[in-house]
């Protein structure tokens, strides 16, 4: 996105009193879940539903046992980026010369 495009937040939330504006319609649609409470992404295994697809994907790891994130210092493995970030505090924070590992 260029600078001129970033300055124009043309997509406004229609919810009375909200007033949030977004650059892209997709961001507005994602935001609208806050107001509707819709949970469109159910887990096929346990039936729990989620507002966002990526939250469902992380949840599925509880059923599969998948631990795609790994500490580069000690090898600790986990399912969620927040868990790895919290773990890295044991080592004095994330390594400065390496970006935080991304999940698959």
Structure tokens at 74: 């000690």
Report the pLDDT value the prediction gives residue 66, as an integer from 0 to 100: 95
Structural domains of the chain, count: 1
pLDDT tens for 23-34 read 999 999 889 888
Is residue 7 domain-resident?
yes
Is 84 a residue whose pLDDT tops 80? yes
Compare 9 and 6 and report the one with higher pLDDT. 9
Polymer length of the chain:
104
Q: Is residue 32 part of a domain?
A: yes
> Residue 20 belongs to what domain range?
3-36
78 assigned to some structural domain: no
3-state secondary structure of 77: strand
Tell whether 26 is covered by a domain.
Answer: yes
Compute the distance between CA of residue 59 and CA of residue 80 in angstroms, rounded to an integer: 9
Q: What is the pLDDT of residue 104?
A: 46
CA distances to 62, 76, 90 from 71, rounded to whole Å, are: 19, 5, 11
Any domain includes 67: no
Task: Check residues 8 and 94 and name the one with the higher pLDDT.
Answer: 8
pLDDT in tens, 44-81: 999 999 988 999 999 999 999 999 999 999 999 999 99
pLDDT of residue 8: 83
CB neighbour class for 73 (10 Å; exposed up to 12, middle 13-18, buried from 19): middle
**95 and 74 Cβ atoms separated by less than 8 Å:** no
pLDDT in the model for residue 2: 55
More confident residue, 94 or 83: 83
Instruction: Tell me, yes or no, whether 46 lies in a domain.
Output: no
């Amino acid at each position: 996105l260029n600078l001129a495009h970033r300055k124009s937040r043309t997509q406004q939330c229609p919810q009375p009193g909200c007033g949030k504006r977004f650059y892209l319609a997709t961001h507005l649609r994602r935001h609208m879940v806050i107001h509707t409470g819709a949970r469109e992404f159910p887990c096929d295994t346990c039936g729990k539903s989620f507002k966002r697809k990526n939250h469902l994907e992380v949840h599925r790891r509880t059923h599969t046992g998948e631990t795609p994130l790994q500490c580069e210092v000690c090898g600790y493995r986990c399912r969620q980026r927040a868990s790895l970030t919290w773990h890295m505090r044991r080592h004095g924070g994330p390594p400065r010369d390496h970006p935080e590992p991304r999940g698959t």
